[in-house]
Amino acid sequence: MEPLLHRKREAIARMFSIIAPKYDLLNRLLSGFNDVRWRRFAVEWLPVSAKIVVDIGTGTGDFAFAVLDRCSKAKVIGVDLSTQMLKLAQRKAVAQGRKDSCSWLIADGLNLPFRDESADAVVCAFVIRNFEDLTKGLTEMHRILKPNGVALILEFCQPKPSWWWTPVGLFVRYVVPIVGRLMSDPVAYSYLTASIQTFLPAEAVAEKMKAAGFRKVVWATLTFGVATFFRAVK
Ligand SMILES: C[S@@+](CC[C@H](N)C(=O)[O-])C[C@H]1O[C@@H](n2cnc3c(N)ncnc32)[C@H](O)[C@@H]1O
Domain residue limits, the chain: 2-22+33-158+200-233
Residue to probe by mutation, ligand 1, list 87, 130, 155, most atoms within 8 Å of CB: 130
pLDDT at 4 over 80: no
| Ligand 1, atom 10, residue with closest C-alpha | 127
* Range with lowest mean pLDDT among 13-17, 102-106, 125-129: 13-17
In terms of pLDDT, which residue wins out, 233 or 182? 233
CA of 177 to the centre of ligand 1 (A): 19
Average pLDDT, the chain: 94
State the closest ligand 1 atom to the C-alpha of 23, by its place in the atom list counted from 1. Answer: 9
State the closest ligand 1 atom to the C-alpha of 137, by its place in the atom list counted from 1. Answer: 19
CA distance 40 to 44: 7
CATH number of 2-22+33-158+200-233: 3.40.50.150
* Per-residue pLDDT reduced to its tens digit, 30-62: 999 999 999 999 999 999 999 999 999 999 999
Residue to probe by mutation, ligand 1, list 16, 62, 144, 189, most atoms within 8 Å of CB: 16
Percent of the residues in the chain that have a pLDDT greater than 70, as a whole number: 97
Q: 177 falls in which pLDDT band (50, 70, 90)?
A: confident
Query: From the CB of 58, is ligand 1 less than 6 Å away?
Result: yes
Q: What pTM was estimated for this model as a whole?
A: 0.96
Cβ count near 149 (within 10 Å) = 23
- 126 in the Ramachandran plot: left (φ > 0), alpha (ψ -120 to 50) or beta? left
What integer pLDDT is reported at residue 123 of this predicted model?
Answer: 98
pLDDT at 1 over 70: no
| Ligand 1, atom 23, residue with closest C-alpha | 57
What integer pLDDT is reported at residue 185 of this predicted model?
Answer: 84
- From residue 70, alpha-carbon distances to 41, 64, 150, 205 in Å are 10, 10, 14, 26
- From residue 198, alpha-carbon distances to 7, 9, 129, 172 in Å are 11, 17, 9, 14
Contacts of 9 (CB under 8 A, 6+ apart): 81, 108, 110, 132
pLDDT at 9 over 90: no
State the closest ligand 1 atom to the C-alpha of 7, by its place in the atom list counted from 1. Answer: 16
What integer pLDDT is reported at residue 3 of this predicted model?
Answer: 66
CA of 124 to the centre of ligand 1 (A): 8
Query: From the CB of 64, is ligand 1 less than 6 Å away?
Result: no
CA of 60 to the centre of ligand 1 (A): 9
The angle formed by the CA atoms of residues 123, 140 and 131, to the nearest 5 degrees, is: 75
Query: From the CB of 140, is ligand 1 less than 6 Å away?
Result: no
* Through-space distance between the first and last CA atoms of the chain, rounded to whole angstroms: 35
Which ranges of the chain would DSSP assign to H, the alpha helix? 2-5, 9-31, 34-43, 62-70, 83-95, 134-144, 167-170, 176-183, 186-198, 202-211
* Range with lowest mean pLDDT among 2-11, 171-180, 202-211: 2-11
